[in-house]
Amino acid sequence: MSGGVGADQWHQRRAGSCQRARQDAQGKPFLSVDEIKAETLEIILATVDNPSNAVEWALAEMVNNPKVMKKAVDELDMVVGRERLVEESDIHNLTYLKACIREAFRLHPYHPFNPPHVAIADTTVAGYMIPKGSHVMLSRIGLGRNPRAWDKPLEFQPERHLKNTGTVVLAEPELRFVSFSAGRRGCPAVSLGTSITMMLFARLLQGFSWSIPPGGDRIELQESATSLQLSKPLFMQAKPRLLLHLYEADVLN
């Protein structure tokens, strides 16, 4: 090699340069390709599974309770009408619909537990000593169905989330249930998750009248033995309730 640098030295310097190129400004290594794939898959699953599970349970509960369904549809007709499709800007005014989804998050979480966290120091929570290094998991069912926090916790009652202020948010900062996680390690996309969940729910309610299929009397609200999803696929009868051109416009967009 030129300049008195041997081949071995050159390769060592080259390897060191490549290693530095894979580090950020603080000297920490960038994610590997496999790590990036895993993180991307985690984001996709969280984006799809949590909102779709909440919407599915909400629809199932509401079909079994026509008064709740009518109240939600009436709000949509009053706020949005039937001459146009519901838009993201309408979500702020759809208070009762947000209460329905919030109730679905409370009563029917997608996961039984929150992701585990490790205590970085000895601490005491609610009188319980938690030693440093302990792995702590929150029970989403234990929080959302806690009879000390909720009246008739096993009943689907969206009205329990309506406040005098008229404002309803899907997140729960007081940790009485878990929707998008909480704390510094909570979901970084609460706003996006809220929009995705509400738009899916609102479009389904606005676009169709939902009912129990002929021959049935109610939807079986039973959780799967392996998860908190519905044990059986949700089958309902859908009847269009808007003008045809609105469905065509939705498909084209």
Q: What DSSP element (H or E) covers 209?
A: strand 208-211
The per-residue pLDDT for 173 is 77
Q: What is the pLDDT of residues 31-50, one digit of tens each?
A: 788 888 888 887 777 667 78
Q: Which domain covers residue 197, as residue numbers?
A: 53-252
Residue 39 placed within a domain: no
More reliable by pLDDT, 171 or 106: 106
Q: Checking DSSP bridges between strand 128-130 and strand 123-125, what pairing results, if any?
A: antiparallel
Q: Is residue 94 part of a domain?
A: yes
d(CA 111, CA 76): 30
The pLDDT of residue 171 is above 60: yes
pLDDT band, very low/low/confident/very high, at 138 (cuts 50, 70, 90):
confident
In a domain, 24, yes or no: no
* Amino acid identity at 232: K
Q: How many domains does the structure of the chain reveal?
A: 1
Cα–Cα distance, 250 to 87 (Å, whole number): 11
Element (H, E) at 44: helix 33-63
For residues 140 and 109, give the distance between their C-alpha atoms in angstroms, rounded to a whole number.
Answer: 7
Task: Answer whether residue 1 is part of any domain.
Answer: no
Cα–Cα–Cα angle for 185, 187, 190, nearest 5°? 140
Is 100 marked within a binding site?
no
**Confidence (pLDDT) at 100:** 97
Single-letter amino acid code for the residue at 149: A
Residue 9 included in any domain: no
Average pLDDT, the chain: 85
What is the rounded CA–CA span in Å between residue 193 and residue 197? 6
- Which tens digits make up the pLDDT trace of 61-89? 999 999 999 999 999 999 999 999 999 99
Pick from 37-46, 90-99, 108-117, 228-237: least confident: 37-46
Q: Please check whether residue 155 lies inside any domain of the structure.
A: yes
Question: Looking up tokens 């878990």, which residue turns up?
Answer: 178
CATH of the domain at 65: 1.10.630.10
Give residue 40's pLDDT: 82
Q: Is 213 exposed, middle or buried (0-12, 13-18, 19+ CB in 10 A)?
A: exposed
Inside any domain, residue 175:
yes
Q: Fill in the DSSP letter of residue 32.
A: P
pLDDT band at 181 (very low <50, low <70, confident <90, very high): low
